[in-house]
A and B are shown apart, each in its own frame.
Chain A
């Protein structure tokens, strides 16, 4: 049962206050949000910070619900919240088809190159022209996460070694006031 202690240690070392691994649905999204909100309420977090964390969490969770590529032997994804002295960190990880990496990378790199005004313009240009996709997204999630957090989006792709899939990790930080 050593893995239990190891997991506990890993969570403490990385300041993780919540980890969810499994299938992602709207019901799970609501539960995770409610847990995180209770945690922030009980610790007396500033309302402006709470709102930003909530905002980034919703986009992150709904991104997984809508976009995580279904891979035959692994439908699951992981979502974590870290809480440090000076910031909250929202992390997600989910499988992605290798063929989708380039497009996603380009999108994220483009967002990270923009400043506050650039992100605002990008948001406005997308919202004017976008249609809600079959998956229910507006194509605005990452831009919104970058805007609300005020920080660059951290991302990484890990090859799963099966020649088809990778694991996409996304990390957004929200400064505590």
Chain B
């Protein structure tokens, strides 16, 4: 399966989705002009991955900042991950960033997925 690898920019996060090496990560800042357009390839990739996923998947969110339009798309990403067996969400937040911790807690209340919270 193809690797989805997008370098981060000023207003978009770094994306690595690599089934072979078991790396699934969204990190950095997310405030694109068109969040739906930016996240579509990620949703498409997850859709394809869900047809034949690894036995277990640790999906890492290591976000420094995301805007409200991205938060809706992050929820869409999480919803897409819900259907995949063996899925665990690793939610990273900076140790003094209560808002990012709370954001992760809220997402965990909105989807049926195990969340592990980690600081960096």
Interface centre among B32, B33, B75, B94 (most CB of A within 10 A): B33
Chain B: CB-nearest residue to A132:
B36
When the two chains form their complex, are residues A51 and B71 in contact, meaning their CB atoms are under 8 A apart?
Answer: no
B97 at the interface (CB under 8 A from A): yes
Min distance, Cβ B9 to any Cβ of chain A, angstroms: 9
When the two chains form their complex, are residues A123 and B106 in contact, meaning their CB atoms are under 8 A apart?
Answer: yes
Chain A: CB-nearest residue to B39:
A132
Contact of B10 among A30, A51, A62, A136 (CB under 8 A): A30
Contact of B11 among A26, A48, A138 (CB under 8 A): A26
> Which A residues lie within 8 Å of B109 (CB)?
124
Among B14-22, B48-56, B61-69, B81-89, which stretch is in contact with chain A?
B61-69
B7 at the interface (CB under 8 A from A): no
When the two chains form their complex, are residues A136 and B65 in contact, meaning their CB atoms are under 8 A apart?
Answer: no
A82 at the interface (CB under 8 A from B): no
When the two chains form their complex, are residues B96 and A62 in contact, meaning their CB atoms are under 8 A apart?
Answer: no
A55 at the interface (CB under 8 A from B): yes
**Pair count A-B, CB < 8 A:** 64
> Which B residues lie within 8 Å of A54 (CB)?
65
Given contacts A26-B11, A120-B106, A136-B35, contact A48 B97 (CB under 8 A): yes
Among A94-102, A140-148, A154-162, which stretch is in contact with chain B?
A140-148
Min distance, Cβ A54 to any Cβ of chain B, angstroms: 7
Given contacts A30-B10, A51-B65, A132-B36, contact A140 B72 (CB under 8 A): yes
B99 at the interface (CB under 8 A from A): yes
A128 at the interface (CB under 8 A from B): yes
A141 CA to B69 CA in the complex, in Å? Answer: 8
Given contacts A127-B110, A141-B68, contact A51 B97 (CB under 8 A): yes
Min distance, Cβ A44 to any Cβ of chain B, angstroms: 15
Among A114-153, those with CB < 8 Å from B are 120, 123-124, 127-128, 130, 132, 136-138, 140-141, 143-144, 148
Q: Apart from A130-B72, A136-B35, A136-B36, what are 20 other A-B pairs with CB-CB below 8 Å?
A: A26-B11, A26-B33, A30-B11, A47-B94, A48-B97, A54-B65, A59-B68, A123-B106, A124-B106, A127-B72, A132-B36, A132-B69, A136-B69, A138-B35, A138-B69, A138-B71, A138-B72, A143-B68, A144-B68, A148-B99
Q: 16 A-B residue contacts at CB 8 Å?
A: A26-B32, A30-B10, A30-B11, A34-B10, A51-B97, A51-B99, A52-B99, A62-B67, A120-B106, A124-B109, A136-B33, A138-B69, A138-B71, A138-B72, A140-B68, A140-B71
Residue positions of B touching A, CB distance < 8 A: 10-11, 31-36, 65, 67-69, 71-73, 75, 94, 96-99, 106, 109-110
Report the 7 A-B pairs with minimum CB-CB distance, sorted nearest first: A140-B68, A26-B33, A138-B72, A132-B36, A138-B69, A144-B68, A138-B68
